Amino acid sequence: MTIDFDLLPEPSTSKEPVKRAVTTIIPTTSDSKSASSSKKTSSTSTDLPNLPSFRIDKAHRSYKHQYSNIYFVRLRILRQYVEESAKKRWADVPGNPLYVPRVLEIVKTKLCWIVGTVYMDMPLKPNILEDISREHGLPPLPPANYSSISDKIMLEDESGRILLQGDLIQTLINEDSAERTGTNANVSGLVTGVILAALGKETQNGEFEVVDLCYGGMPPQPSLEASKDEDEMDVDNQPDASSSSEEKDTDTWIAFVSGLSINEPSPADVSTQLLIEYLSGEAAGLDDQVSTSRISRLVIAGDSLASMVVTGKGEADADGIKRSIKEKKEMVGTKIARGRKYGYDSTTFSPHPTRALSAHLLDLGRVMPVHILPGEHDPAGTILPQQPFPRGMFGDVSAFPTFSSETNPTWVRLSAPSPSPSKQDITRTFLVHSGQPVNDMFKYLPSPASSSTRVRAKLDLAESSLRWRHIAPTAPDTLWCHPYFDRDPFILEQTPDIYAIGGQESFGTRLVEEFEDEDIKRCRIVLLPSFAKTGTLVLVNMRTLGVKTVKFAVKGMTGDGQDVEIADETVKKEEPEAEPRMRSPDSPDSIPDSSNPASQMY
Amino acid sequence: MSNKTVDDYLTKQLIEGNIVTFRSLSRHLSLHVNVAKNELAKFYRKSSDGGQSAVVATFLLSGQSAPRRDEDEMEVDERSVEDDFSETRAPETRIVIVGEKEVDGARAAFLKLNTIHVYSLSPSGIRDASHLCDLTDKLRLIDGEKPEMAKVAGRVVSENIKVCGPAFSLLRRHNDVYTAKSTQRWQSTRRPTIAGPSNAKASEPKEQPKETAEVKAKEEATKAKPKATGKLDFSKATTKANKEKMKEEAEKNKKVVVKEETPEPRSKEKAMAEKREELFRSKSLKRKSQAVMLSESEDEKEGTSKRASEAKSNVRVKKRAILSDDEEDEAPPPPKSRKASGKAKAPEVDADLQAMMDVDDDQVERVSEQKPAATEQTEEETDPVDDDVQMDDIPPVQKKKRKTKKEVPRGRNGLRKKRVVKSRMTTDAKGYMVTEDYSEYESVDEEEPEPAPTKGKEKTPKEAKGTGSASTSKASKPKAPEKTASKASVSAKSKTGDSAKGGQKGISAFFTKPKGK
């Protein structure tokens, strides 16, 4: 059997070797002295405002504060923006609505608008008060989805709470007869912690009948002016950045990957190796190699290591001997049994995943700058913002100054030389996180049936969070976060150019635009699917904000190839069972959720 | 690369049952990856034309994947029928590895095929794709050892990346290890340091042989081990240091030697036989370093050292007893070495070199002090000397042996930590509370007297305190206080009183145990 294929063009020695595109990091905080040095490199970057840092320094590494401070600060800061945009939006509303600064001071039956924090009262949502009042035992794992028929949406401020009602807020959906009951749909996709303005009037029952909602709107985009010229051209010609027609060979790309899930004891994943070979420009033909060389850096958005599975089976006793369950029963009460080390089994513990990961990182770090974020399943703290991995744990690659260990939500500002020398450098601001905020918000919504609608729902959420000016409103309610005292770092003070979200089940992207006066704020939202499941690498064009994907797979072989194929199958499988009925606990969203407490135990 | 070598290599690997990927071929034969891919293809064609079924290939296909709605997650859902694929799909490049039998099927999945090339050759079909990863570790090593390979193989390396990164980190690690050890132990450190620098820097090894030769010629009987370490240090010093420095050092050494004669006698008296070896090593090391530095000084030193040795045949015994003292003496160098290691971490090799050089200089001085004693000892002791000589022939082995010996960690201030007995309560496996005593090293304040009690003979903490740098002074007490004027005076005192464990100047002496222990 012969297979016809052409030989690759041999590299000619005279020709200059392919050069990788280079981007430089522009410091995002003022405290770094390099701000002045960056002036020289790009004149546009200096006037860019600082970005919040998610690093928790020693002085603030205290857990003694109450979480209420976060809500307080959030409302105080965001209220002004919401008021501003609400005034603009409702200026011409007939009836001249009145702004009531305190929720409880509403005048009945008079049209008015109020500003406050959304609180979702959901019976299925874990409730800290219930946990505390529970005397015995651990609470059951929270369900994969909190939405239920008896959800209530309220708006609260310093003074009190008021129940929101109206078609805009929720609709009673009577689904097919197959459904048990209707569902209170959260029409506007609200989640706890969002600051918004609601226009309406109080009913006789003391509820607030909502006519319209207003958010703060997308924050300013400072890099706008910097890249205005280019943007205008590009936007005009190419409103849909996903079409590749406009992309040029000289464009600089940034690669994003999430969920490598380096997993012990299975051997090194071929897809991962292919990924590395692709990124280093070794795999595939000359064309691919040239296009790879335009990828200037790689961002790994969380879940680099597979979550550790804790089983009671392999538990070793105090004497280090594994026994069967039967034997253990017989030994109950003995000293050996009492000294049992739960959750840790020295016979099955292996440092292999970390080592494998650092080996891969070393391969990658040798060819391009790498940013790595901790994620939900990584061996890092579970509360947001997750602090950077200690560099030392990655061995040799930590010697590279170009290897950056980042916090979980992280801001990165990059500048790439413009293709045409006459223009200024392209500066883009990236906001990257490993997906927890979006995944958590997703639990507040009635679960969409199909994967494509799920993707869209998550894109909606991501887009909303830009308009809410807050990337993680559900913290600290259902998303664990650090008890900040005097600030809320998740407030968006500016719109990123690229908002990349890791830890997603499938790929999705959307270009969000908001017109304000003559400016267009544009943000490219990218959902990064798990690499282990989908083998997908996402590339984002620095200039056009266009998106490409590269998919790695193995066919016709078992072993690691299985990972990919099995993943595809599971995706297919879950569709039928995800028909519009109440979410079953084994639906895909339950996976991160249920593993959360487990990882938390470490 | 000629076809012949490639063919030979491939044939050999396949006969041995190995998988050859384009990467492993390119790394082993220094080929560009694309050339390697073509070589694999040629070989594959040749063998399949020849009707041999011995070679099975896997292929890598890359191209634009055809939009497969049905096959994809995109399910048949009324809501998803919206032509909103822009949000869930993007132009996708697909890169697939397939066995040779699946190639045609895989091709169909591509809208446009950019490339197809041989990914690997293997003697039989690969069932488990993870076998393709087996070679990765080796390749990673090769890439790490030969950064230049990136260019040869055609990896596209970002300009941001400093190629020295990985290789340097490895190198640095070695250095760190060595320096750390050196700080802990003179003896152990000397050998390792030698090995480390020699590996790292070509200049050092060259210098060593010369030096060693000289030393050997002059003092054949002396031990080889110490020399090696001394040489290393010295070599560094020479490379770095200006000639002036060297001259100064030489002068110092001479002076030191003269002074040393006096201190040695008392040390002899005090010293016990137990720890002679250690002393020897340290002293011999010092001597060696001197030799390296100045051949002229060596001659003089030898003369002085000979005198000293003549004066006291017992030196070794005494020194052993003093061992603890010796260790203290050694203490000063460790801090320096630490500095060196700290500097070594700095990314630039030059900085490391300089740091190391600095350290060496310091060490050299000390060495000079100790040297005379060592020489004396060596000459006097016939048997041990012989052993040492043999060791010289095979220095590395000896070093290893000694390393295993006890190590006294040093505190930040460079002083040896003292052992303190503490007790702790623990719950044992059976649930009982157990109180156990354990000893632990504790760092010592620079101002505090060193823990004399353990051996307590000659250390005479007072002297040590008197001098500015406690560590050096302590070291000097037993052996060679000469360096600083104050030290010299101290040494003189100690000499006078030394017959009965030195004339104790303080009450503390009464609380120390007699040597006999």
pLDDT at position A559: 47
- The whole-angstrom separation of Cα B130 and Cα A270 is 6
pLDDT at position B302: 47
pLDDT at position B192: 37
Domains of chain B in start order, with CATH, are 3-67+91-157 (3.90.1030.20), 171-403 (no CATH)
pLDDT interval class at B250 (50, 70, 90): low
Among residues B281, B285, B298, which one has the least CA distance to residue B214? B298
Q: Measured between CB atoms, does A11 come within 8 Å of chain B?
A: yes
More confident residue, B470 or A484: A484
Query: Left (φ > 0), alpha (ψ -120 to 50) or beta: where does A229 sit?
Result: alpha
Residue of B93, B100, B174, B434 best to disrupt the A interface, most CBs of A under 10 A? B93
Same domain, yes or no: A195 and A293: no
Helix, strand, or coil (residue A100): strand
Same domain, yes or no: A186 and A267: no
DSSP-assigned states of every residue in B166-201: HHHHHHHHHHHHHHHHHHH-HHHHHHHHHHHHHHH-
Same domain, yes or no: A198 and A238: no
What are B207-220's pLDDT values in tens digits?
444 444 444 444 44
Same domain, yes or no: A50 and A175: no
More confident residue, B294 or B150: B150
- The whole-angstrom separation of Cα B517 and Cα B514 is 7
pLDDT at position A334: 57
Same domain, yes or no: A567 and A595: yes
Host domain of residue A181: 68-128+143-214
Task: State the CB neighbour count (10 A cutoff) for residue A565.
Answer: 15
Residue A109 inside a domain? The answer is yes
Q: Which of residues 534-563 of A touch B (CB under 8 A)?
A: 538, 547-561
Q: Which of residues 155-184 of A touch B (CB under 8 A)?
A: none
Q: Which of B34, B130, B169 sits opposite A270 (nearest CB)?
A: B130
Could you give the percent of chain A with pLDDT greater than 90? Answer: 4
| Averaged pLDDT score across all residues of chain A | 73
Residue A532 inside a domain? The answer is yes
Q: Which of B34, B156, B166 sits opposite A280 (nearest CB)?
A: B156
Helix B186-200 vs helix B203-218: angle between axes, to the nearest 10 degrees? 130
Task: State the CB neighbour count (10 A cutoff) for residue B130.
Answer: 21
Same domain, yes or no: A274 and A206: no
pLDDT interval class at A172 (50, 70, 90): low
Q: Element (H or E) spanning B164, and its range?
A: helix B164-184
Structural contact between residues A423 and A365, judged by C-beta atoms closer than 8 angstroms: no
Same domain, yes or no: A47 and A169: no
Dmax over CA atoms of chain B, in Å, equals 105
Are the beta carbons of A283 and B62 separated by less than 8 Å? yes
Which one of A170, A197, A214 terminates a domain?
A214
Residue A192 inside a domain? The answer is yes
CATH code of residue A527:
3.60.21.50
- The whole-angstrom separation of Cα A579 and Cα A145 is 15
Amino acid in the structure at residue A527? L
Could you give the percent of chain B with pLDDT greater than 70? Answer: 31
pLDDT at position A10: 64
Q: Which of B114, B131, B156 sits opposite A367 (nearest CB)?
A: B156
How far is B378 from chain A, CA to nearest CA, in Å?
A: 44
Q: Which of A244, A289, A401 sits opposite B91 (nearest CB)?
A: A244
- The whole-angstrom separation of Cα B397 and Cα B370 is 24
Over residues B23-52, the mean pLDDT reads 81
How far is A168 from chain B, CA to nearest CA, in Å?
A: 21
Q: Which of B90, B133, B165 sits opposite A549 (nearest CB)?
A: B90
Residue A350 inside a domain? The answer is no
pLDDT at position A500: 92
pLDDT interval class at A255 (50, 70, 90): very high
DSSP-assigned states of every residue in A484-496: -SS--TTB-SS--
pLDDT at position A501: 92
Structural contact between residues B192 and B182, judged by C-beta atoms closer than 8 angstroms: yes
DSSP-assigned states of every residue in A176-207: -TTSSS-EEEETT---TT-EEEEEEEE-TTS-
Which one of A214, A235, A264 terminates a domain?
A214
Structural contact between residues A128 and A89, judged by C-beta atoms closer than 8 angstroms: no
Q: Measured between CB atoms, does A286 come within 8 Å of chain B?
A: yes
Which one of A189, A214, A239 terminates a domain?
A214
Are the beta carbons of A559 and B128 separated by less than 8 Å? yes
Residue A332 inside a domain? The answer is no
Q: Measured between CB atoms, does A148 come within 8 Å of chain B?
A: no
Name the token pair of B407: 């190590």
Q: Has residue B182 got a pLDDT over 60?
A: no
| Count of all residues that appear for chain A in the document | 602
Measured between beta carbons, the chain A residues lying within 8 angstroms of B27 are none
Are the beta carbons of A240 and B95 separated by less than 8 Å? no
Q: Provide the CA A370 distance to its chain's centre, in angstroms.
A: 18
What are B115-149's pLDDT values in tens digits?
888 888 888 777 777 777 777 777 888 777 777 77
Helix B349-380 vs helix B276-293: angle between axes, to the nearest 10 degrees? 120
Same domain, yes or no: A223 and A198: no
Name the residue with tokens 């958010």.
Answer: A215
Q: Which of residues 563-582 of A touch B (CB under 8 A)?
A: 571-572, 575
CATH code of residue A106:
2.40.50.430
User: What one-character DSSP code corresponds to residue A307?
Assistant: P
Over residues A399-421, the mean pLDDT reads 83
Q: Which of A8, A242, A553 sits opposite B90 (nearest CB)?
A: A242
Residue A6 inside a domain? The answer is no
Residue A13 inside a domain? The answer is no
Among residues A162, A150, A152, which one has the least CA distance to residue A117? A162
Over residues A533-548, the mean pLDDT reads 87
User: What one-character DSSP code corresponds to residue A384?
Assistant: B
Are the beta carbons of A450 and B59 separated by less than 8 Å? no
Measured between beta carbons, the chain A residues lying within 8 angstroms of B22 are 282
Q: Has residue A269 got a pLDDT over 60?
A: yes
- The whole-angstrom separation of Cα A152 and Cα A430 is 35
Q: Measured between CB atoms, does A12 come within 8 Å of chain B?
A: no
What are A37-96's pLDDT values in tens digits?
333 333 344 456 677 788 888 777 888 888 888 888 999 999 999 998 888 888 888 878
pLDDT at position A432: 92
**Contacts of range A245-248, beta carbons closer than 8 Å, 24 or more positions apart:** A246/A544, A246/A546, A247/A541, A247/A544, A247/A546, A248/A419, A248/A543
Q: How far is CA B459 from CA A597, B421, B451, B452, B508, in A?
A: 59, 21, 9, 6, 11
- The whole-angstrom separation of Cα B364 and Cα B349 is 22
How far is A22 from chain B, CA to nearest CA, in Å?
A: 6
What are B303-335's pLDDT values in tens digits?
444 444 444 444 444 444 444 444 444 444 444
More confident residue, A450 or A474: A474
pLDDT at position A9: 67
Helix B263-270 vs helix B315-330: angle between axes, to the nearest 10 degrees? 110
Any idea which of A158-162, B177-181, B486-490 has the lowest mean pLDDT?
Answer: B177-181
pLDDT interval class at A505 (50, 70, 90): confident
Same domain, yes or no: A399 and A492: yes
In terms of C-beta density within 10 A (0-12 exposed, 13-18 middle, 19 or more buried), how is residue B517 classed?
exposed
Helix B349-380 vs helix B263-270: angle between axes, to the nearest 10 degrees? 70
Are the beta carbons of A366 and B150 separated by less than 8 Å? yes
Over residues A240-249, the mean pLDDT reads 50
Q: Which of residues 32-71 of A touch B (CB under 8 A)?
A: none
In terms of C-beta density within 10 A (0-12 exposed, 13-18 middle, 19 or more buried), how is residue B307 classed?
middle
Structural contact between residues A556 and B99, judged by C-beta atoms closer than 8 angstroms: yes
Amino acid in the structure at residue A434? S
Question: Number of folded domains in chain A?
Answer: 2
* Candidate ranges A42-46, A129-133, A509-513; pick with highest mean pLDDT: A509-513
Residue A273 inside a domain? The answer is yes
Measured between beta carbons, the chain B residues lying within 8 angstroms of A10 are 32, 34-35, 38
pLDDT interval class at B467 (50, 70, 90): very low
Are the beta carbons of B102 and A556 separated by less than 8 Å? yes
- CA angle B21/B24/B27 to nearest 5° reads 145
Helix, strand, coil percentages, rounded to 5, for chain B = 60, 10, 25
Structural contact between residues A318 and A336, judged by C-beta atoms closer than 8 angstroms: yes
Residue of A289, A554, A574 best to disrupt the B interface, most CBs of B under 10 A? A554
Same domain, yes or no: A444 and A460: yes
pLDDT at position B191: 39
What are A346-402's pLDDT values in tens digits?
555 566 778 888 888 888 888 888 999 998 888 888 888 888 888 888 888 888 888
Measured between beta carbons, the chain A residues lying within 8 angstroms of B158 are 20-22, 296-297, 367-369, 402
Are the beta carbons of A5 and B41 separated by less than 8 Å? yes
Same domain, yes or no: A445 and A518: yes
Name the token pair of A139: 């609470």
Q: Element (H or E) spanning A117, and its range?
A: strand A112-121
Among residues A533, A541, A481, A464, which one has the least CA distance to residue A502? A533
Same domain, yes or no: A151 and A270: no
- The whole-angstrom separation of Cα A163 and Cα A169 is 10
Q: Has residue A164 got a pLDDT over 80?
A: yes
Contacts of A358 (CB under 8 A, 6+ apart): A393, A394, A395, A396, A397
Strands (E) located in B134-285: none
Any idea which of A19-23, A421-425, A470-474, B248-252 has the lowest mean pLDDT?
Answer: B248-252
Query: Left (φ > 0), alpha (ψ -120 to 50) or beta: where does A147 sit?
Result: beta
How far is A476 from chain B, CA to nearest CA, in Å?
A: 30
- The whole-angstrom separation of Cα B322 and Cα B478 is 7
- The whole-angstrom separation of Cα A364 and Cα A379 is 21
Q: Which of residues 68-107 of A touch B (CB under 8 A)?
A: none
- The whole-angstrom separation of Cα B427 and Cα B449 is 37
